[in-house]
Chain A
Amino acid sequence: MKSDNKQRVKGEALLEIRGLKIEGNSDGVWHPIVKGVDLTLKRGEVLGLIGESGAGKSTIGLAAMGFARPGCRIAGGTIMFDGIDLRAVSEDEKRKLWGARIAYVAQSAAASFNPAHKLIDQTVETAVRDGLMPRDKAVADAVDLYGRLQLPNPQSIGGRYPHQVSGGQLQRAMTAMAMSCRPDLIIFDEPTTALDVTTQVEVLAAMRNIVEEFHTAAIYITHDLAVVAQMADRIMVLRHGLEVEEAPTREMLKEPKKDYTKTLWAVRKLAKEESISDDVTLSVRNVDASYSGVVKVLDNVTVSLPRGRTVAVVGESGSGKSTLARAITGLLPPTKGEILFNGKPLPRALKDRDKDTLRRIQMIYQSADTSLNPKQTIRDIIGRPLEFYHGIKGAARDRKVAELLDSIELDESYIDRLPTELSGGQKQRISIARALAAEPDIIICDEVTSALDQIVQEEILTLLMKLQKDTNVSYLFITHDIATVRAISDEIVVMHRGKVVQQGPKTQVLNPPFPAYTELLLSSVPQMDPDWLTNLLAERARAKVKA
Chain B
Amino acid sequence: MTAQAPQLRSVRARRTFWENTKRTLASAPISAWFGMIVILIYVLAAIFAPWLAPHGEAEVVGKAYQPAGEQFFLGTDQIGRDLFSRLIYGARNTIGIAFLTTLLSFAIGGTLGVLTALKRGWLDQAISRVVDAFLAIPVLIFALMLLAVAGKSILNLILILALLDSTRVFRLARATALNVVVMDYVEAAKLRGEKMGWIIFKEVLPNILPPLITEFGLRFCFVFLTIAALSFLGVGIQPPTADWGSMVAESKTLITFPVRTFPWIPAPFYPAMAIALLTVAINFVVDWFLHKTSGLRDEK
Query: Does any Cβ of A come within 8 Å of B190's Cβ?
Result: yes
A140 to B188, CA, bound (A): 51
Query: Does any Cβ of A come within 8 Å of B287's Cβ?
Result: no
Task: Please give me the residue from chain A that is nearest to B182 by CB atom.
Answer: A370
Complex interface: chain B residues within 8 A of A358 (CB): 191-193
Q: Given contacts A358-B191, A371-B188, are A395 and B203 in contact (CB under 8 A)?
A: no
Within 8 A of A (CB), among B1-41: 1-2, 4-6, 8-11, 14
Are B14 and A350 interface neighbours, CB within 8 A?
A: no
Query: Does any Cβ of B come within 8 Å of A331's Cβ?
Result: yes
Are A395 and B207 interface neighbours, CB within 8 A?
A: no
Query: Does any Cβ of B come within 8 Å of A363's Cβ?
Result: yes
Q: Which of B4, B187, B300 contacts A395 (CB 8 A)?
A: B4
Within 8 A of A (CB), among B243-257: none
Query: Does any Cβ of B come within 8 Å of A423's Cβ?
Result: no
Are A399 and B5 interface neighbours, CB within 8 A?
A: yes
Interface string of B184-197 (1 = CB under 8 A from A): 11011011111000
A362 to B300, CA, bound (A): 25
Within 8 A of A (CB), among B133-186: 183-185
Query: Does any Cβ of B come within 8 Å of A367's Cβ?
Result: yes
Q: Given contacts A331-B191, A370-B184, are A375 and B207 in contact (CB under 8 A)?
A: yes
Complex interface: chain B residues within 8 A of A415 (CB): 8
Q: Which of A329, A384, A394, A413 contacts B9 (CB 8 A)?
A: A413
Q: Given contacts A365-B184, A385-B192, A388-B193, are A402 and B6 in contact (CB under 8 A)?
A: yes
Interface string of B45-84 (1 = CB under 8 A from A): 0000000000000000000000000000000000000000
Are A398 and B1 interface neighbours, CB within 8 A?
A: yes
Within 8 A of B (CB), among A500-528: none
Are A367 and B184 interface neighbours, CB within 8 A?
A: yes
Interface string of A383-409 (1 = CB under 8 A from B): 011001100001100110010000000
A355 to B298, CA, bound (A): 34
Complex interface: chain A residues within 8 A of B203 (CB): 373
Are A373 and B185 interface neighbours, CB within 8 A?
A: yes
Query: Does any Cβ of B come within 8 Å of A485's Cβ?
Result: no
Interface string of B255-275 (1 = CB under 8 A from A): 000000000000000000000
Shortest CB-to-CB span from A507 to chain B, Å, is: 33
Q: How large is the interface on A (under 10, 10 to 19, 20 to 34, 35 or more residues)?
A: 35 or more
Shortest CB-to-CB span from A435 to chain B, Å, is: 9
Task: Please give me the residue from chain A that is nearest to B207 by CB atom.
Answer: A375
Query: Does any Cβ of A come within 8 Å of B240's Cβ?
Result: no
Complex interface: chain A residues within 8 A of B190 (CB): 331, 350
Are A374 and B298 interface neighbours, CB within 8 A?
A: yes
Task: Please give me the residue from chain B that is nearest to A385 by CB atom.
Answer: B192
A363 to B192, CA, bound (A): 9
A395 to B1, CA, bound (A): 5
Are B192 and A399 interface neighbours, CB within 8 A?
A: no
Are B10 and A413 interface neighbours, CB within 8 A?
A: yes
Query: Does any Cβ of A come within 8 Å of B121's Cβ?
Result: no
Within 8 A of B (CB), among A361-381: 361-363, 365, 367, 369-376
| Given A365-B188, A370-B184, 13 more pairs with CB closer than 8 A | A365-B184, A367-B184, A373-B206, A376-B202, A385-B192, A395-B1, A398-B5, A398-B8, A399-B5, A412-B8, A413-B11, A416-B8, A417-B14
Residues of B participating in the A interface, judged by any CB pair closer than 8 Å: 1-2, 4-6, 8-11, 14, 183-185, 187-188, 190-194, 202-203, 206-207, 298, 300
